[in-house]
Every structure is written in structure tokens, then in C-alpha cells.
Amino acid sequence: MENGTSTESPIRPAPKLLDQVRDAIRTRHYSIRTEDAYVNWIKRFILFNNKQHPAKLDTTHVAAFLSHLAVEGKVAASTQNQALSALLFLYQKVLEIELPRIGDVVRAKKPQRLPTVLSRSEVRSLLDHCTGTAGLIARLLYGTGLRLMESVRLRIKDVDLARAELTVRDGKGGKDRVTLLPQSLLVAIERQIAERRMLYDADVQSGTADVWLPDALAIKYPNAPKTWGWQYLFVAANLSIDPRSGIRRRHHFNEKLVQREVHRAALAAGIVRPASPHTLRHSFATHLLEAGYDISTVQELLGHADVSTTMIYTHVLNRGGRAVLSPLDG
């Protein structure tokens, strides 16, 4: 202390638990969707245990919470698994506590349901009623087998018109893959790229051409977020604030608009069964198998890690993966 004045810097309070969780998630470059989901589950876990700090709780509390979700909440198996993943992340990565094996959990039952698949005529009618950018994305879903988020996250550099190919980056499981681009969509996609270029040039002039890059690429390549190749193929009409960085930029096309358009088109087409963007992916796989394509080829196009996942479409067909014709029918 000099002249009665302290030279010591003030002690900063320790960050709150949920802030620690967010920091740990962002350090590992998890998506903002995962961040929101994990934080939500951890909040619910704390409230379930009367706001006790998780460090004071153990596996019995975790098991009780998971069982509560299954019995009282009647959640799906995938939802219960997501809650478990969030709590394991909390204890292992944030609190650095290794939990013993979690036993005596009432597991949510995983229903054995077959995917909804539309006939070719139903798909044709549905797509005929789809309009605008959402309609083009819907055609892309059926024509390529992409997942909805894979389609709206496509970048300009991932579209190869000359080879009629799309490269899916960081798909489910963090894997890249190449899939086909339908010949019938080449003109529409080329037009979309041209319109996108005009919007990009306008954003460059206004200084808002910056785009979000995965992981730490924006740090490694500081100029890349403003380049043409990294721009989203399908984008939102308006600029928005990035919730993490606070940067005002143009986000990708809102996937909810595609969901609404497919639902509206299905009603307009008179389709009774529930139809969603993922129904178009199911239909893509089933119709390829009906056409006699090998199941391993379909597996690769869909990006399935295990062929057993793709095999579910053979149950929809009610015949083998190679669409084998019965000798009696022959």
C-alpha cells in the first residue's frame, strides 16, 4: 500500500456454474444448439434437486432425475439420452468429477417405428405445391437425401455444378461426404448462386459480408469469413445478431420456413399422412432401393455410420435391400 492506496487488483468472483458450462462448450467448439440444450438440461437437473449445487449431488440424484424424465415426463429415449449426455458433460468436463456407473435408471422405451415414406406420385404432387427458396430446398432434400440442417448450411464452395455434386461438411457425427446434385436442379441452383452473388456483393459494399465459420477457422483464416466461397447458399432475407459473438451478419436460411412450406404443400396436395422435410429424405432412400440400387450405396449417400440404420428402409419396402424380385412373381 502506497499513500494509503492499495495497489492490489480486485478479486474477481468465480464465474457462475452455467457460465462455466458455456465456456467449456465453446472451448470444444460445440454448436449453439448443443449449448442451449445442455444448459437447459443442467438447469432442470438443479431445479429438480431443489437448487442444490451439482457438486453436492451424486449418481443417485442423476439416476432419479433420468427416471423422472421417463416415468413422469414420458420423454422419448433420445431425449433422455441427451439429458444424460448433458449431465455427464457437466460432471466430467466442468466439475471434473468422475461419476461411478449410473444404475437403477428407468429407461425411456425407444419405439420401433417405421419411417413415413411417400409414393413417387405423392412426392411429385407435394413438390409441385412448394414455392420459393423453401420449395427449392425441399426439392433438394428429396433429390439428394440431405438432412434439413445439412441443406440450409451448404456453402457456395460445396456446390460443384460441373460434376453435379454436393459436399456435405461436418454432417451428423462430424463426417464429410459427397452426394449427387440432380440434373433437374442444376439450372435452379445456378440461378440461386447468381442471386446469392448479387446479395453478397451488396453485403460487401455495406460491410456485412462476414459469415460464421466452424470451429477456430475464423481465427486461423481471418479473411475467410468475408470470402465468396464460404457464404451460405441459402440465406436469411435480413441480417441478425450472432448470439455468441454479437456480430451483425447474414445467417443461413431459417429451417423452420422449410418445415412450414412442406407442411403447407402436403395439405394442399391432399396428403393424409404427416409429411415433414425428413419424410423427403426417407422417400429418397426408399425410392433408390426400389430402383434396385445397392444398400451400401444408399448408406453412403445418406451418411449413415452403420448399414443397420439404412436397413430400416428395406422393412418399408418389405423386401431385400437389392429389391430382389420373388421367383414366384418372376
- The catalytic residues are 147, 172, 278, 281, 304, 313
Compute the distance between CA of residue 23 and CA of residue 44 in angstroms, rounded to an integer.
Answer: 19
CB 169 within 8 A of CB 176: yes
Compute the distance between CA of residue 329 and CA of residue 107 in angstroms, rounded to an integer.
Answer: 44
SS (H, E, C) the chain: CECCECCCCCCCCCCCHHHHHHHHHHHCCCCHHHHHHHHHHHHHHHHHCCCCCHHHCCHHHHHHHHHHHHHCCCCCHHHHHHHHHHHHHHHHHHCCCCCCCCCCCCCCCCCCCCCCCCCHHHHHHHHHCCCHHHHHHHHHHHHHCCCHHHHHCCEHHHEECCCCEEEECCCCCCCCEEEECCHHHHHHHHHHHHHHHHHHHHHHHHCCCCCCCCCCHHHHCCCHHHCCCCCECCECCCCEECCCCCCEECCECCHHHHHHHHHHHHHHCCCCCCCCHHHHHHHHHHHHHHCCCCHHHHHHHHCCCCHHHHCHHHHHHCCCCCCCCCCCCC
Please provide residue 310's backbone torsions phi and psi, each rounded to the nearest 5 degrees.
Answer: -70, -30
- If we measure between CA atoms, which residue out of 149, 196, 134 comes closest to residue 32? 149
β-bridge partners, 249: 240
The residue to which cell 494509503 is assigned: 4
